[in-house]
Amino acid sequence: MPDLVFLDYTSEHPLDHLDTTCLILPFFADERPIKGLSGFADWRMNGKISRDLQSSRVLGELQEVVLIPSAHRLKSENLLLFGLGAQKEFSKVSFFQALLRLSQLILKSKPQNFVYALHSQWPAAEQSTWLAEFITQQENTIPVWNVLSQENQTDSCVGTVQKQFPKLNIRTEHLAGDVASKKPFTLR
């Protein structure tokens, strides 16, 4: 059974300290401007994501994945924009379809580590539960899923997931400042 690791930050701006190979940022096709951690990453990237959205190089369609090098604007080497489709058409089924594509990409590219940032406009406990359900249903699976939630949501996410998936190995990594640069959440 894979590990589900929730990264809990005491830092005001966690993306400034998150040293990872790939930061996965989900967003909806009809979400403008992008918000939450995706919006913060866009700001740190001087609006690169917004420009790509405006020029239609990135659409946010369901299962769309776009890799963008961070160009040292963030500690994460790359950003992987992860399209969730239109909000009104979004469902557990479409999320599982998108996660299947994402997990296939991760298994194929084998990043040293990656972090999936929960979407700020979608209830964190529901996202975490759906993600945990997806993980437990996969046979050819990724050994460690690292999840970054919005501030003060980690405990409720962990509690909700543990109740519904008691056999899933769930843990929390409490990270502050540059502690994240030690890369404790490596793929095995």
Q: Does the bond joining 33 to the residue before it have cis omega, within 30 degrees of 0? A: yes
d(CA 14, CA 119): 14
d(CA 116, CA 127): 11
pLDDT (0 to 100) of residue 132: 93
Residue range 87-135, pLDDT digits in tens: 999 999 999 999 999 999 998 888 888 999 888 888 888 999 999 999 9
d(CA 175, CA 79): 20
- Cα distance from N-terminal residue to C-terminal residue, the chain: 13
Model confidence band, residue 179 (pLDDT cutoffs 50, 70, 90)? very low
Domain boundaries, the chain: 3-182
Residue range 25-38, pLDDT digits in tens: 999 999 888 888 88
Q: 3-182, superfamily in CATH?
A: Leucine Aminopeptidase, subunit E, domain 1 (3.40.220.10)
Q: Would you say the C-alpha torsion 7, 101, 84, 124 has a positive or negative sign?
A: negative
User: Do 37 and 150 meet the contact criterion of CB atoms below 8 Å apart?
Assistant: yes
Cα angle for residues 11, 41, 35 (degrees, 5° grid): 95
- Name the 3-class secondary structure at 37: helix
The amino acid occupying position 61 is E
Helices (H), the chain: 36-44, 48-54, 92-109, 124-137, 154-164
In the chain, the percentage of residues whose pLDDT exceeds 90 is: 45
Distances (CA, A) of 142 to 113, 134, 159: 11, 11, 22
In the chain, the percentage of residues whose pLDDT exceeds 70 is: 88
Would you state the structure tokens that stand for residue 78, as one six-digit string? 């790359």
- Most confident among 5-19, 93-107, 166-180 (mean pLDDT): 93-107
- Tell me which of 33 and 2 has the higher pLDDT: 33
